[in-house]
Structure formats: structure tokens, C-alpha cells
Amino acid sequence: MINRVTRFLKEARVELRKVTWPTPKEALASTSVVIVVVIIMSLFLGVVDLGLTRIIRLVLG
């Protein structure tokens, strides 16, 4: 078991050396895009939820 864990950690280290890490500027830009998309999707889903709630209340009365 310990040999398997050791082998896994060594292989993980080798793979992490192959990773191209983003620059701080790229990381900030990507994070900004994600935050904006999350806000837009949250607003959209909130409006859809509100609309469907009102429609269901009208139908069920």
C-alpha cells in the first residue's frame, strides 16, 4: 500500500512539472470572466424562476 502511494505521488510530481501555469494576469482575466458569467447566469435563472413561479400560481390559482 505504501509503495502504491509513493509511486502515485512521484507520478503526480512528474505530471505537475508538465503543467503550464498561467501568469497572474491570465489568472485574473480568467477569474473575471468566470465571475461575470456566473452573475449573468444567476440573474437569468432568477428571472426564469420568477416567471415560472408566477405562471404556475396563475394556472393553479
Phi (first) and psi of residue 5, to 5 degrees: -65, -45
Name the percent of the chain lying above pLDDT 90: 95
Give the Cα separation of 3 and 48 in Å (integer): 53
Mean pLDDT over residues 4-30, rounded?
96
Higher-pLDDT residue of 6, 61: 6
In the chain, what are the domain boundaries? 23-61
- Is the distance from CB of 30 to CB of 22 less than 8 angstroms? yes
Does the structure show a pLDDT above 90 at 6? Answer: yes
